[in-house]
Amino acid sequence: MRASGTVPGRVTAGVLTAGAAARGAGTWARNTSHCCSLPARCWPWRWPATRYKGTVPTYIINLDLPPYKRWANVMNDKKTELKKVMQNIKNLVNKFFPGSKIADLVEVKMVHLLSSLPHPFREEIEGIANTSGASLGDVVLFNIFYEIFTVCTSIVAEDKTGKLYHARNLDFGLFLGWDIKNSSWTITQLLKPLVVALAFQRNNKTIFKSTNFAGYIGMLSGVRPGAFTLTMNERFSIDGGYLGILEWILGRRDGMWMGFLTRAVLENSTSYEEAKEKLAKTRLLAPAYFILGGNKPGQGCVITRSRAATLDIWDLDIKQGTWFLVETNYDRWKPPLFLDNRRDPAKQCLNQIKQENLSLATIYDVLSTKPVLNKLTVYTTLMAVDGGHTETYLRECPEPCCPW
């Protein structure tokens, strides 16, 4: 599972990172770096006027079908877009290593990895590959990306009446190629047509809802109607997702893939307390932040995870004045990276809004404030546990805009 003495997953990451520089990363540094140093300006009245030009289609995933067939309706519509994303990644690898076979090697290794994935995820991936015409290796790799490359901002908050709201910006595509002509991350733009709203049903009843990328079977954002809301953010750590994936490949499989865990929690847990316990105690392949909201006042938390343990549980506490929680990609007890401070602008805007004015619309305004909104932002999802309400908007960040 090594190529020239290096783990293929790490090779891929290194290739993609260097590829960004090779494709004009210096251009965005010159054009957009100044905006990141400006004080946050909160943007009111953004919702819903600043939608991206396009709609997010809704699909039903019938859990009563055999796993192989569950995603057929989605992939029949989105197969071209999925193959375009994967081909772009291969092109990036091939440009950095001309004449090499690294992209082919990674694809072969991904096929071998598939056989080790648990039921029903293995069968669902096989069905997606069959329906879309994409290679098995590509579909496996597409699902693994989100264990190691997702950069996000999540908010869970409680209004004066005790109603809970949950929202997130999904940022993806960092160092995966820069489009000089359009001043944007290439993969970020290619992913937007893949965004779908999903309703997972059993016996014709919706069990949970999610905003997802077509072809990805884990869950990054979801709501179980009447029970809880959930988002997952990547946690940067030396003991990161690459190491967990390598251990899995080498045969140590006592950890769970993050996206598969969130999927299992949304599908099987019936309460906030049950979901919280599973997210806190299950061993993971990669460090993560789980942001969880419930259906009662005070039910909201951020669970900070290493691969093996829970390091911190940060709860809403209205009596102590904590009516909102903001999580980006940094531990709350540490300052964010100075080049990537989305946390403080989001907190500043929420404090300006005040608890009495909290709503999905005002939270959308917070998530529309730069640099919370940036060139990596693919979509914004707004959720309320009552009735399983969800809204998803594809995003564009008008200039001047931070690269992340």
Higher-confidence residue of 238 and 280: namely: 280
**Start-to-end C-alpha separation, the chain:** 32
Catalytic position from the list 152, 301, 349, 401? 152
Higher-confidence residue of 218 and 242: namely: 218
| Rounded Cα gap, residues 150 and 173, in angstroms | 8
Mean pLDDT of 181-191: 88
pLDDT value, residue 46: 80
CA dihedral sign of residues 403, 242, 379, 281: negative
Residue 154's φ and ψ, nearest 5 degrees, are -120, 145
pLDDT value, residue 213: 96
pLDDT value, residue 300: 99
Mean pLDDT of 8-16: 37
pLDDT tens-place string over residues 248-278: 877 788 889 999 999 999 999 999 999 999 9
Statement: residue 156 has pLDDT above 70: yes
Parallel/antiparallel/unpaired status of strands 377-384 and 195-202: unpaired
Higher-confidence residue of 181 and 12: namely: 181
Statement: residue 11 has pLDDT above 50: no
3-state secondary structure of 313: strand
Mean pLDDT of 16-38: 43
Q: Would you call 83 exposed, middle or buried from its count of C-beta atoms within 10 A (0-12, 13-18, 19+)?
A: middle
Higher-confidence residue of 106 and 320: namely: 320
Q: CA neighbours within 13 Å on the CB side: how many for 259?
A: 23
pLDDT value, residue 319: 95
Are the beta carbons of 385 and 357 closer than 8 angstroms?
no
Question: By percentage, how much of the chain surpasses pLDDT 70?
Answer: 84
Amino acid at 54: G
Statement: residue 22 has pLDDT above 50: no
| Rounded Cα gap, residues 180 and 62, in angstroms | 41
3-state secondary structure of 299: coil
Statement: residue 35 has pLDDT above 80: no
Statement: residue 210 has pLDDT above 80: yes
Residue 74's φ and ψ, nearest 5 degrees, are -70, -50
Q: Across all residues in the chain, what is the average pLDDT?
A: 86
| Rounded Cα gap, residues 165 and 307, in angstroms | 28
Residues near 55 by beta carbon (within 8 Å), at least 6 away in sequence: none
Are the beta carbons of 148 and 237 closer than 8 angstroms?
no
Residue 195's φ and ψ, nearest 5 degrees, are -70, 130
- Walk me through the domains of the chain, giving residue ranges and CATH numbers: 8-25+66-144 (no CATH), 38-58+150-394 (3.60.60.10)
Helix %, strand %, coil % of the chain (to 5): 40, 25, 35
Q: What is the pTM of this model?
A: 0.88
Confidence of residue 32 (pLDDT cuts 50, 70, 90): very low
pLDDT value, residue 17: 41
pLDDT value, residue 185: 87
The token duo for 397 is: 């960040």
pLDDT tens-place string over residues 37-56: 545 678 787 877 655 556 79
Confidence of residue 29 (pLDDT cuts 50, 70, 90): very low
Amino acid at 212: N
3-state secondary structure of 44: coil
Residue length of the chain: 404
CA dihedral sign of residues 139, 222, 10, 283: negative
The token duo for 310 is: 């829970």
Check if 152 is active-site. Answer: yes
Are the beta carbons of 136 and 110 closer than 8 angstroms?
yes
